A and B are shown apart, each in its own frame.
Chain A
Amino acid sequence: MADLLAPGHRGCAGCPASICVRQVLDAAGPNTICTNATGCLEVMTTPYPETAWKVPWAHSAFENSAAMASGIEAAYKALNRRNGTNKKPNIIAFAGDGGTFDIGLQALSGALERGHRMLFVCYDNEAYMNTGIQRCSSSPIGAWTTTSPEGSCSSGKTQRKKPIAMIAAAHDIPYVATACISYPQDLKAKVKKALSFDGPSFLHVFAPCPTGWRFPSEKTIAMGKLAVETGVFVLYEMTDAEPMKPIVTVKPKEFRPVEEYLQAQGRFAHLFKPKRDEVTLKRIQEDVDRKLKWVGLKP
């Protein structure tokens, strides 16, 4: 048990991104090279000349974390060939939801298609937190952000969340999984499994952000558990042996009502006050049920 992310970084109290990195690196071990897209994680861990990373780490631009990781993998291949060595460090690309769902999508798609041996980890806090909580294609229906405000004509974001794990899986890559920082055993098992494949793998990590979602910092872990227990986020994995067939790894016995999850966060407060927004609440419930149907948890 060794921490590969040092203290002293500037993340908010209760930050889920650093919890995600600590758990991923704990599973991957010190023989790892990381690349990092622009985002909260990059800004808070490495204000030059400070760095909190104890493994080799490099900052790419916002869009090309996956491209940089694939370059590192290709360089290792070339050096191994030239020197007759067989060095195979784990190569992990970190990106937030902005650097994965929106801005980094084409670099990610390219790297997955080229088949580099690397793991792409997306920590998903459902908005652009680093620049001040702007709407992202990962934000869920009804969520308040600064660019999807609530008011008399709007009840937060109107569109659905993009199913990024399914998009990654559609590239027919060896391994795709979703995980949550609240279930560290499950997350670490998935990281180890992902790194065992000789090809690209994708991990979508759900990371509840106290600052952007408007809840107290000590509830970061509880919020992740609540998301899984209400069916808002499903933990599953897919391999290319059975493409596009998700196998659920954490199955709640009974799903709790989605409203429990919504009421715990300030970004959904406008759905309940001053009066209940039945239309949006129904849309959210329908969307959750649809996604549960996809993975076979609801008939």
Chain B
Amino acid sequence: MVTKITKGCVIYNSPTSLGNKTGGWRTMKPVVDEEKCKKCNICWQFCPDSSIEPADRKANKAIKINYDYCKGCGICAAECPFKAITMVMEEK
């Protein structure tokens, strides 16, 4: 990627990392069972890639995984106390 280098290498329009879709790194993919999700957001606390949209208890909305960036580490599935997330093989 060719870019014009800014003075002092300052990046003005952060976050610019959004252009780097890390979802392609994944071999296993987390799938959420929305009925089992108790909206506790424990998985959200532990996601290293900020790839979980937090659940909203008031709107009765379960968590949602952003597959554009999820690297499939499996922490959310391992830490969910209600076993609402399962890891399945990624198929394309």
Chain A positions near chain B (C-beta within 8 angstroms): 1, 3, 5-16, 18-19, 22-23, 45-46, 48-54, 181, 184, 210, 216-222
Render B15-41 as a binary contact track against A, CB cut-off 8 A, 1 for contact. 111111110010000000000000001
Cβ-closest chain A residue relative to B6:
A49
Query: Are B14 and A51 in contact (CB-based, < 8 A)?
Result: yes
Roughly how many angstroms separate A210 CA and B72 CA in the complex, as a whole number?
14
Q: Nearest CB to that of B25 among chain A residues? A: A13
In the assembled complex, how far is the CB of residue B6 from the closest CB belonging to chain A, in whole angstroms?
8
B46-A9 in contact (CB<8A): no
8 Å CB interface, B33-84 against A: 41, 44-51, 54, 66, 68-69, 71-75, 77-79
Asked if residues B54 and A50 are in contact (CB atoms below 8 Å), the reply is no
B66 touches A7 (CB 8 A): yes
Closest residue of A by beta carbon distance from B46: A221
Are A5 and B50 in contact (CB-based, < 8 A)?
Answer: yes
Closest CB in chain A relative to B85 CB, distance in Å:
11
**Could you say which residues of chain B place their CB within 8 Å of the CB of A19?**
46-48
Known: A7-B50, A8-B21, A14-B73. 13 other contacts (CB 8 A): A6-B14, A6-B18, A6-B50, A8-B19, A11-B49, A13-B71, A19-B48, A23-B45, A49-B16, A50-B19, A217-B75, A220-B75, A221-B46
CA distance A45 to B16 in the complex (A): 10
Q: Which residue of B lies closest to A182 (CB)?
A: B46
B16 touches A50 (CB 8 A): yes
Instruction: Tell me if B89 is interfacial: C-beta within 8 Å of chain A.
Output: no
Q: Assuming A8-B22, A8-B69, A184-B45, is B17 touching A222 (CB within 8 A)?
A: no
Which residue of B5, B51, B78 contacts A221 across the interface (Cβ within 8 Å)?
B78
> For the complex, what is the distance from the CA of A210 to the CA of B78, rounded to whole Å?
14
Chain A residues positioned under 8 Å from B66 (CB to CB): 7
> With A221-B46, A222-B78 as given contacts, are A10 and B20 in contact (CB-CB < 8 Å)?
yes
Distance A9 CA – B75 CA, assembled complex (angstroms): 17
A22, B11: Cβ atoms under 8 Å?
Answer: no
- B22 nearest CB neighbor, chain A only: A8
Which 9 A-B pairs have CB atoms at the shortest separation, nearest pair first?
Answer: A218-B74, A6-B15, A8-B17, A7-B69, A13-B73, A14-B73, A13-B71, A52-B17, A217-B73
CA distance A220 to B49 in the complex (A): 13
Specify the chain B residue showing the minimal Cβ separation from A56: B14
Nearest-neighbour CB distance to chain A for B33, whole angstroms, equals 17
Measured between alpha carbons, how far is A5 from B45 in the docked complex, in Å? 12
Collect the chain B residues with CB atoms within 8 Å of residue A184's CB. 45-46
A219-B16 in contact (CB<8A) = no
Whole-angstrom CA separation of A266 from B17 in the bound complex: 32
Q: Which residues of B contact A15 (CB under 8 A)?
A: 48, 73
A181 and B79 CA atoms in complex are apart in Å by 13
Q: Flag if A1 contacts B48 (CB, 8 Å).
A: no
In the assembled complex, 8 residue pairs joining A and B whose CB atoms fall closer than 8 Å, in A order, are A7-B49, A11-B49, A18-B49, A18-B50, A51-B11, A51-B14, A210-B73, A220-B73
- A22–B75 Cα distance when bound, in Å, is 15
- A7 engages B17 (CB within 8 Å): yes
Given known pairs A1-B41, A14-B75, A220-B75, the reply for A50 and B20 (CB within 8 Å) is: yes
- Taken together as a complex, chains A and B put the C-alpha atoms of A19 and B6 apart, in Å, by 30
- Inter-chain CA distance A221–B11, complex, in Å, is 32
- Complex Cα distance, B75 from A278, in Å, reads 33
Residues in B whose Cβ lies below 8 Å from that of A48: 5, 9, 11
A243 to B25, CA, bound (A): 47
The complex places the Cα of A240 from the Cα of B1 at a distance, in Å, of: 51
Interface centre among A216, A217, A218, A219 (most CB of B within 10 A): A218
